Amino acid sequence: MIRYIFQRILSVLPTLIGVTFVIFMFQRLIPGDPAIAMLGEHATDESIERIREQLGLNRPLFLDREALVDGDLQGFFDSQYMRYMARLSRLDLGDSIHRRIPVMETLKLRFPATVELSLLSMIIAVIIGIPVGIVSASRRNTAIDSISMVGSLIGVSMPIFWLGIMEIMLFAVILQWLPAGARLSTGIEIESITNLVLIDSLITGNMEGFVDAISHIAMPAVALATIPMGIIARMTRSSMLDVLQEDYIRTAKAKGLGGRLVLFRHALKNAALPVVTIIGLQAGTLLAGAVLTETIFSWPGIGRWIYDAILGRDYPIVQGGTLLIAIVFLGVNFLVDILYALLDPRIRYK
């Protein structure tokens, strides 16, 4: 097992390095000069030049061939990418260009908001998706099956930004039950322990805060949950159907075991593997969907923040934020791989 984990880590590493490379590249490819973005429209050419020097933007991207021609070996490697990697290795994501706040600090503040939203969405998706899938599979080709499968397909097909807008229209504009945006009402204070307001308010026994937080997170979480919910329901159904056709299920049934027992004791456990994988893959969908959901619900997470930074050419934010998302995505899928291997020992020996 440990050997397997080690192998997996080894195979993730090159991907990670590739990811830093791509992140670095696409920042530099986006048109617009961060120095101008930083200084504003009326900056003089000299001050722009000086800032470029300060930020290291006047260095070549990867390697400096001129320095090498002059015999300067250190200068050869002193490039933007190498500096970036050196900073990364110290866990320094740099300061944002416009307000010079360490990206790490803002990430610590904003990432929990995205995590909270994504986690809750995932919980909703799993709690609804898996039972729907099981029921569909056990009642195959009935009306219930068709309805829930078309329903989950609608979920998969849902433009979440549209669903979010419709939710706002119904619950915030017409019924006025729920607030249309933000994470908490102004004036509500929740002591931060984990930075996940739902959990913090529960720990500190702040019921008013908890209710407020729930009312704020409800709409975005439901909107974000639709696509994974549909996917999980469909995956559960098909993998249950696969398992139900296996010989050992037939045997169990032939032995006279009750349908429900067979379903839960034997089939579900074996059908769990693909479902777990698909849940892991949804982590990416959730983080990506966060850009749209956070835009609509003014949610103070990292999705919207990164989007704004891309448009505002705030490179350190884009780099730091995207890197974090990519790492989380790779990490979740790494965990899924391990879990998979635990559930199914055959994989380890492949």
Partner 1 sequence: MTKKLFYILIALLLFSALILGACAKEPEGEKIPLTLYYMPVSRFYYPSPKEIAEAMAADMANAGFDVQLELAGDWPTYLGLRREGNLDGLYMLGWGGDNGDPDNFLNYFFGFSGEDKVGDDPAAWVKSPEKREGWYANTDVAYLLYTASITPDQAAREAMYKQVENILHDDVVRIWVDHNNTPLVFSSAVSGYVPQPVGADYFEGVVVEGSDTFVFGRGGDSVQLDPAIVTDGESFRVTGQVLEPLYQYEPGSTKPIPALAESCTPNEAGTEWVCVLRQGVKFHDGTDFNADAVIFNYERQRFTDHALHFESQVYEYYGAMFGGFDDASIITVVEKVDDYTVKFVLSEPLAPFLANIAMDIFAISSPAAMEAAGEDYGLPSNGAVGTGPFKFVEWIEGDHITIEANADYWGGAPAVDQIVFRVIADDSARFLALQAGDIQGFEQAVVEDLATAEAAEDLYVLTRPALNTGYLAFSYKIVEFQDVRVREALAHAINRQGLVDNFLGAYGEVATNFLPPLIWGHDDTIVDWEYDPELSKQLLADAGFPDGLSEVTIDPAYVTEE
Partner 2 sequence: MVKITPEEITVTDFAVREHRSLWGDAWKRLLSSNTARLGMFIVVLFVSSATFSHYFWKYEPKKDLDYSLKLKAPIFIPTEEIPSVHPFGTDKLGRDIFRRVVHGGWNSLRVGIVAVGISLFFGGTIGLLSGFYETVTMTTTERLVLFGTAGFLMGSLSAWIADQYFQLILYAGLGLAAGYYQDLFKGKFLRMVTFGILGALFSAVPGLFISPTVAVICGLWGLLSGVLLSRPLDGKFFSNVMMRLMDIVLSFPGYLLAIAIVAFLGPGLGKGMIAIGVVGIPIYARLTRSVVLAIIHKEYILAAQSVGESHGRIIFRHITPNILSPIIVQTTMGLASAILSAAALGFLGLGAIPPEPEWGAMLGESYRYLTSGAWWAVMFPGLAIMLSVLGFNLLGDGLRDALDPKLRT
- The contact set with partner 2 (CB under 8 A) reads 14-15, 18-19, 21-22, 26, 29-31, 63, 65, 68-73, 76, 140-141, 146, 149-150, 153-154, 156-159, 161-162, 165-166, 168-169, 173, 253, 284-285, 287-289, 291-292, 295, 303, 306-307, 310-311, 318, 322, 325-326, 329-330
Rule CB under 8 A: which of 16-35 touch partner 1?
31-32
Q: Which stretch binds partner 1 (CB under 8 A): 126-134, 166-174, 330-338, 341-349?
A: 166-174
Shortest separation between residue 131's beta carbon and partner 2, angstroms: 21
Shortest separation between residue 28's beta carbon and partner 1, angstroms: 16
Binding partner at 181 among partner 1, partner 2, none, C-beta below 5 to 8 Å by kind: partner 1
Helices 302-312 and 268-296, interaxial angle, to 10°? Answer: 50
Beta bridge partners of 102: 95
173 contacts partner 1 (rule: CB under 8 A) = yes
45 contacts partner 1 (rule: CB under 8 A) = no
Binding partner at 192 among partner 1, partner 2, none, C-beta below 5 to 8 Å by kind: none
Binds partner 1 by CB under 8 A, chosen from 16, 37, 85, 144: 37
Whole-angstrom Cα distance, residue 202 to residue 191?
A: 10
Angle at the Cα of 126 from the Cα atoms of 320 and 119, rounded to 5 degrees: 30
- Between 12 and 214, whose beta carbon lies closer to partner 2? 12
Total residues at interface with partner 1 (CB under 8 A):
39
Residue 78 CA: distances (Å) to CA of 16, 19, 22, 27, 123? 22, 20, 19, 18, 47
Residue 226 CA: distances (Å) to CA of 12, 73, 96, 159, 193? 30, 55, 34, 9, 30
293 contacts partner 1 (rule: CB under 8 A) = no
Sign (positive or negative) of CA dihedral 194, 197, 199, 202: positive
- Between 274 and 312, whose beta carbon lies closer to partner 1? 312
Binding partner at 68 among partner 1, partner 2, none, C-beta below 5 to 8 Å by kind: partner 2
- Strands (E) across the chain are located at none
- Between 89 and 245, whose beta carbon lies closer to partner 2? 245
Q: Are 214 and 198 in contact (CB under 8 A)?
A: yes
Binding partner at 182 among partner 2, partner 1, none, C-beta below 5 to 8 Å by kind: partner 1
DSSP per-residue codes, 57-112: TTS-SS--HHHHHTT-HHHHH--HHHHHHHHHHTT---B-TTT--BHHHHHHHHHH
- Between 18 and 131, whose beta carbon lies closer to partner 2? 18
Rule CB under 8 A: which of 111-150 touch partner 1?
none
Binds partner 1 by CB under 8 A, chosen from 185, 192, 194, 251: 185
Residue entry with tokens 């944002």 = 96
Q: Which stretch binds partner 1 (CB under 8 A): 40-48, 136-144, 238-246, 276-284?
A: 40-48
Q: Which residues contact 289 (CB under 8 A, 6 or more apart)?
A: 160, 224, 227, 303
Helix (H) or strand (E) holding 37: helix 34-39
For 4, half-sphere exposure in the C-beta direction (CA atoms, 13 angstrom radius) is: 16
Binding partner at 153 among partner 1, partner 2, none, C-beta below 5 to 8 Å by kind: partner 2
